[in-house]
Chains A and B, each alone.
Chain A
Amino acid sequence: MINRVKYSLLVAAMALAGTAHADSVKIGFVSTLTTPAGVIGADIKNSVELALQHINNKMANLDVELFLEDDGFKPDVGKQKTDKLVKQNDVDFVAGYIWSHVLLASMNSVLSANKFLISANAGPSQVAGKRCHENFFSTSWQNDQTPMALGEYLNKEGIRSLYVMAPNYAAGKDMVAGVESIFEGEIKGKDLTKWGADAQLDFSAELAKAKASGAQALFIFYPGKAGPAFLKQYQQAGLQSVLPLYSVFTVDAISLPRLQKANIEGVLGSKNTQAWSPDLDNAANKRFVGDYLAKHGGYPSFYGAQAYDSIMLISSAVESVNGDLSDKNAVRDALRLANYESVRGPYTYGNNGMPIQNFYLREVVEDDEGRWTTKVVETVFENHQDPYASDCKL
């Protein structure tokens, strides 16, 4: 019985691989669709689909074939799926990657096969520095940059001491390093908490420590499901008045509706930094955010915006080589130009494939229809390049 099943699976798998068209652009997209982090993946999927809709599913008159894969929030699974995209689906581009550790585990599979890797979120320091590669491009940021912008703002505000909390993985460490590198005051204490599929979500012990440390402000990085959990506990502990909160990648379009539902009003008015905001005033962003709102009834998150950009970036490159993907050098040169309408406005690429772009201070506000969202307050950095670019020998 099982043998027959196995046999037919084998046949099915072969047939599946056999149907690939030669005259299409094949894009593999890796994100997290299951586990609680799947909520991010859902937003990314919506945005990618919206991007494809906006270009009528065509790049330089070639059909776009999208292969969406789920990394299950695990680096080894992410790598396995990436291998599959490269070897079985023979895609031209692999995009996506929410998590830095998944990207680190997977990147070699793509790059050693001489394919292009477009990170739509993760920006670990290793990839920006020593392990940089000519076929790697990011439509997000290098991990350190956003917290650096926040640190800069904290300096300007005259904040002299800080307590720092982040999850214990590649991006968490980069975020902490980023804020520490630029913050001029004293770091009163630091907690790195367990991350992964079984991440720590009860922060009672850490919040008690933070409060007892006597720091002037609290810096956190809690993406995904941990964000709302953290913010609730922060409010329940009554820390708003004692320990003002500054965050990166924690308060976003995914967490805000839930925070609003749970009445966590403490988050209104809180500040964070980001390279993008739904209210950025440019044509591409208006179209993206407007259509997304109309289609899904809520704001897209920055994950979505970056994923949308990744498709647009690929599209611009395919267009510029008129669909001839065999000329890798031409494709690479086209990607490097970033010659497309990014939802964050124009930006350029550094030697390491990381964007050189603006970073904004955003504030959480209520929009005209009563939805909680973020609004740009000021520009903290203009055309900012990540600190690891100099380590990259390209």
Chain B
Amino acid sequence: MDWNLLISQLVNSVQLGLLLFLLASGLTLIFGIMDFINLSHGSFYMMGAYFCGSIVAATGSFFAGIIVGLVGVFFLGALVEWLIARQLYKENHLDHVLVTFGLILVFDALVHIIWGPSGLSIPLPDFLNGQIQLGSLVFPIYRLVIIFGGLAVAGILYLLISRTRLGMLIRAGASDRDMVESLGININRLFLFVFALGAAMAGFAGMLIAPITEATIGMGNDIIIIAFVVVIVGGIGSIKGAFYVALMIGFIDTMSRSYLDDFLELLASTAAAETAAPAISAMLVYVLMAVVLAFKPTGLFPPTAGNR
């Protein structure tokens, strides 16, 4: 066993898990509170990356890109809520899926028109581009930045949810919407805020990953399905569930990508193992979901509702 490799892969899996959490936490809130399935949540991830990339290109400052990008996605989220999502909370899930799928197409095409098909690279400031030596291990600094950024946002979200009045309302909304309404809260404004907050977190995830993978069209469409898996397995509306499951899926995905082919070679020919390994490691996430739902049909951490 190569311990250095194992530790590197653990770090990588935490990084992936936190990115997933940033996406999934907003998704699970929107899902839990508004009962709204937002397939286009991944579009905010993409828009975050593009906003940030444009600002970086214009100002040369990565941090300006992050700040302005966050504000931009927050307002974009608010706009989508106000224009479209709000009309649909009372409709059935099928309508949500249809409309938000339409939104994905619209966002992708808009990005294609505005930024072209080639994608946008986001240069990092030099001090983030290097590596850091910890004992015999070498980590790319930026990967650690992603981890700290993700943890910081998770921490802020935790404080917001557990320590503030707003958080109390959000928590209450996730488990019992009628209760919040009966408290005389302006439910429209709460929904608007939650939606925009979720969008901003997704956008933040996009900004974090874009310096590595570039901002590209449709970059959110693949990861959003994994984020949905996180939400479902974690239990709809459960931030805690989203956190644990995101880390778990990050772990499963990274570890299977790094060790599965060696393992499969014990069972099948090398050529077959090489082809099968990436597919099977991608499949494990779905196997996990199916198994969890088979035994716990409402996910691992369903938010406990007062009445049922």
Interface residues of A (CB under 8 A from B): 33-39, 41-42, 168, 173, 190-194, 197-198, 200-202, 204-206, 208-209, 211-212, 225, 228-229, 232-233, 235-238, 254, 258-259, 261-263
Contacts and interface: CB of A to CB of B under 8 A. Distances in A.
Interface in B1-25: 2, 4-5, 8-9, 12-13, 15-16
Contacts of B177: none
Contacts of B141: 236
B121 interface: yes
B275 A168 contact: yes
A235 B142 CA distance: 11
Contact of A194 (B119, B217, B282): B282
Nearest to A192: B274
Nearest to B13: A205
Contacts of A34: 112, 117
Interface residues of B, number: 47
Contacts of B216: 36, 201, 225
Contact of B254 (A205, A235, A236): A205
B117 A208 contact: no
Contact of A208 (B12, B124, B209): B12
Contacts of A194: 278-279, 282
B2 A212 contact: yes
A229 B120 CA distance: 11
A229 B278 contact: no
A90 to B, nearest CB: 30
Given A190-B274, A198-B222, A205-B9, A38 B123 contact: no
B214 interface: yes
Please classify the interface of chain B as helix (H, G, I), strand (E, B), loop, or mixed, using the class held by over half of its residues: helix
B143 interface: yes
Contacts of A261: 121, 123
B121 A258 contact: yes
Given A202-B209, A258-B121, A36 B217 contact: yes
A36 B117 contact: yes
A258 B275 CA distance: 31
Contacts of A262: 121-124
Contacts of A202: 16, 209, 212-213
Contacts, number: 127
B188 interface: no
B11 to A, nearest CB: 8
A194 B145 CA distance: 26
Please indicate which of the listed interface residues A35, A36, A228, A233 has the most CB atoms of chain B within 10 Å of its own CB: A36
A175 B261 CA distance: 19
4 shortest A-B CB distances, which residue pairs? Answer: A38-B117, A198-B222, A238-B131, A39-B118
Nearest to B121: A262
Given A168-B274, A236-B142, 12 more contacts: A34-B117, A41-B117, A168-B275, A168-B278, A192-B277, A202-B212, A206-B257, A228-B214, A236-B141, A237-B138, A258-B214, A261-B123
Interface string B253-281: 01001100100000000000011011100
B140 A225 contact: no
B103 to A, nearest CB: 17
Interface in B111-168: 112, 116-119, 121-124, 129-131, 138, 140-143
A229 B214 contact: yes
B237 interface: no
B221 interface: yes
A208 B214 contact: no
Contacts of A228: 119, 121, 214
B218 interface: yes
B211 interface: yes
B112 A38 contact: yes
A238 B257 contact: no
B133 to A, nearest CB: 9
Contacts of B138: 237-238
A211 B142 CA distance: 18
Nearest to A38: B117
Nearest to B128: A236
Nearest to A195: B278
Contact of A212 (B5, B117, B214, B277): B5
Interface in B221-241: 221-222
